Amino acid sequence: MRHLRHLACAALGWLLLGGTVIAQEAPKNLSSYLTDVNAGTVSAGNLVGLSESAISQIQTSQDFVVALKPLTSNQSKSGFGLALTPARTSMMPVVSSSDYYNSSSSRVLANLTFSYAENSADIANVSYRKSAFSIDTYFYLHATDDPVVAAYDAFGKCKGRKAADLADSQARIKRRAAERALEAAKSEKDEKEKEKKVEKAQNDLDGAEAVIRQAKIDAEAAHKKCVDDALRVTKWNASRLSASFGAGWIKPDDNSSSRQSLGRTTTLGGILETGEQGAAYLSLRHTSQEVDLTTLGATPQYKSSTLGAARYTYGSKDDNGKWKALIEGSTAKKSDATMTNRVFKYAVGIDAKVSKGMWLEFRLGKNRTLDGTSDQTTSLLTLNLAPSSTLFAE
């Protein structure tokens, strides 16, 4: 029931956030900037064991992500995570187009993402609830790889849209001239001459109106095609850097003791494009004040640790990496019974794009048991939703 309640909260949060966007009459094509080339990322999920991967997936330009973990095991029950990038919603458009285009610091600000995640686990026969938040940002090493920059470029270079807008502007000048001519013709004293001049002015006016109406239709269609075409070729494996700060807590479900820190985590990550279909992910995560999970029932002990990890991903050519196979490894230590060191020591996996905005992630790997006594083989399946990618799809 509790898990259902949490899932209901997640759904409610989505509806409220989505509702806010809808209430502000969000763009019909809000999804146009939302590249759907990777599963959306809920960074806080890394702190509560939602992903169990040592690699923090770098955000793509999705504005709102829900991660659900429908399949459970004894030690890691169902959890969920939410991520929101305010500047990508119409709620907080903080960066102008020129700032975004010209300034890498503005792009870092615009890509700031807030996330929250919860998960539960049984440790020494006690049920615990874990929660965490995280703040992340990233930027593309080559600005032209950024989908938003690519979209602005496509707009500026769109010949069809430019021609239609120019035709619109010139037709409006003709319309004003025709309106003036019509007024002047109406005050003509010679009836025959008046009729002739009114008819000509009216024809000019009608002609201009027709051009203006058609130009708007043509300009909007050309604009949409130009930008959509540019976004379609956005690379899923474009090189980028990321930074993240998060904190998490754990407490017994029955509130029999106070909550303990799961640590304060700083993560630096990067993706390096390796050929057309490959990407190398690197991640360095430092965690301080992280409780030793084996001491939860007694006097809690805290540790600090640094975790390095690498992943290689190979994406299919179809639909810009619809299928992805990956292999990863980390420096997780068997001796440390902390959440940080519970991530996969090594794993293989597959990501599959089920439909627009929906990704299924499967992982199989070796990690440490929660009590730190041995290694275990863990498989997990995560359904990852970026609902706004589909919510505003046309």
Partner 1 sequence: MEITIRNSPLDVERGDTTFVLEDQGTAMTTLILTVEGFPPIQHDEPHKGSLTKTLKLAKGTYACNIFIASYRHGALGPTYKSKVTANGTTVATAEGSIGKDESERDDQEFTLVVK
- Per CB under 8 A, residues contacting partner 1 are 25, 27-30, 32-34, 61, 63, 87-90, 93, 95-98, 100-102, 110, 148, 151-152, 155-158, 161-162, 165-166, 168-170, 172-173, 176, 216, 219-220, 223-224, 227
Question: Which CB, 39 or 151, lies closer to partner 1?
Answer: 151
Question: Which CB, 158 or 343, lies closer to partner 1?
Answer: 158
Residue 302 near residue 291, CB atoms below 8 Å: yes
Least Å distance, CB 18 to partner 1, is 13
Least Å distance, CB 140 to partner 1, is 15
Strand ranges for the chain from DSSP E: 64-68, 80-84, 113-123, 126-140, 240-252, 260-274, 278-291, 302-315, 323-330, 346-355, 358-368, 375-385
Question: Which CB, 152 or 312, lies closer to partner 1?
Answer: 152
Least Å distance, CB 388 to partner 1, is 8
Under DSSP, the state recorded for 322 is S
Instruction: Give the rounded distance of the alpha carbon of 91 from its chain centre.
Output: 16
Least Å distance, CB 90 to partner 1, is 6
Least Å distance, CB 15 to partner 1, is 19
Question: Which CB, 73 or 170, lies closer to partner 1?
Answer: 170
Pairing between β-strand 113-123 and β-strand 126-140 as defined by DSSP bridges:
antiparallel
Least Å distance, CB 264 to partner 1, is 30
One-letter identity of residue 60:
T
Distances (CA, A) of 258 to 9, 120, 252, 254, 392: 23, 16, 8, 10, 43
Least Å distance, CB 283 to partner 1, is 27
Query: Using CA atoms, how far apart are residues 89 and 93, in angstroms rounded to an integer?
Result: 7
Question: Which CB, 155 or 314, lies closer to partner 1?
Answer: 155
Q: Quick one: 74 exposed, middle or buried, by C-beta within 10 A (0-12, 13-18, 19+)?
A: exposed
Question: Which CB, 58 or 332, lies closer to partner 1?
Answer: 58
Query: Using CA atoms, how far apart are residues 211 and 163, in angstroms rounded to an integer?
Result: 12
Coil/strand/helix, residue 48: coil
Question: Which CB, 144 or 377, lies closer to partner 1?
Answer: 144
Residue 332 near residue 342, CB atoms below 8 Å: yes
